[in-house]
Homo-oligomer: A and B are copies of this chain.
Amino acid sequence: MTSADSGTAAESPAQPVRGRPRSEAVEQAIVEGTMKLLEEGVPLGELSIERIARTAGVGKAAIYRRWKGKEALFVDVLRTVEPDGPELPGTSMRDDLVALLEWQRRRGLASRSSAILRTAHAQMKSSPRIWEAYHSTVIAPRRKLGMEVLRRGQRDGELRTDLDVELVNDLFMGPMLVRAVLRPDADLTEGLAQRIVDTLLDGLRPPGAPSVGGAAAPRSVSSPADPAECARSVTEHP
């Protein structure tokens, strides 16, 4: 994708590579060294090419030969470290959601992924390029996956159809993301994914649906009687 060149480049169709080829081992050492530093909690601001070169045991030139600067390198590392998305069982929306959340939970437990995740979120405000790369390669696909699961759930009668799937997606992912990303000391015990999904489903499942727990009376949720007159009452704050 964008800027792909900077990445593990060397994809030149017709290239009469004349001299010594670039060492793949050096490539890996650089990325690995960067990840190691990131894992140790070194913020992006304290990362320097010289320090990475020292850690990786390579010369500075070897890095500048491949990447334009620290930022481009970081984007590549971001893409490299990202684990593959979870495999969805496909048996039901509920099971798929559990799988998605369970994957997030494990990811939060992995220090490598976790630390880099944090740094990425930290820097995205100051560096639109990093945020752009991270969003398009990591967040967007995962989010899209969640949406599809939810929409399928709506078709199959596992999820109320009167709700905005964007919101529902955040209702499911939010709690786990907060624990995995925002709070380093949070509880991420086994079974958390199921608990979240099932607790939420108890209210999200449409009236007559079978599955885990029985649902009860029908409910009509969002049909405002008269928006005009009840519009405020909660909206004012000094």
> Which residue numbers of A lie inside 8 Å of B, CB to CB?
41-46, 98, 102, 106, 115, 118-119, 121-126, 131, 139, 163-164, 166-168, 170-171, 173-179, 181-184, 187, 190, 193-196, 198-204, 207, 216-237
Contacts and interface: CB of A to CB of B under 8 A. Distances in A.
A127 to B, nearest CB: 9
12 contacts: A43-B125, A43-B126, A45-B45, A98-B234, A166-B187, A170-B178, A174-B175, A174-B177, A199-B203, A217-B220, A227-B230, A227-B234
A164 to B, nearest CB: 7
Closest 9 CB pairs of A and B: A45-B45, A203-B203, A122-B122, A174-B174, A174-B175, A230-B230, A202-B203, A224-B233, A41-B126
Copies of this protein in the assembly total 2
A219 to B, nearest CB: 5
Nearest to A164: B237
A195 B199 CA distance: 17
Given A174-B174, A222-B222, 15 more contacts: A46-B126, A118-B122, A122-B123, A163-B199, A171-B200, A174-B177, A199-B203, A217-B218, A217-B219, A219-B219, A222-B223, A224-B234, A226-B230, A227-B233, A227-B236
B122 A121 contact: yes
A230 B234 contact: yes
Contact of A179 (B115, B170, B201): B170
B227 A229 contact: yes
Contacts of A177: 174, 178, 182
A235 B222 contact: yes
Of residues A43, A124, A202, A219, which shows the largest number of chain B Cβ atoms within 10 Å of its Cβ? Answer: A219
B224 A184 contact: no
Contact of A219 (B164, B176, B221): B221
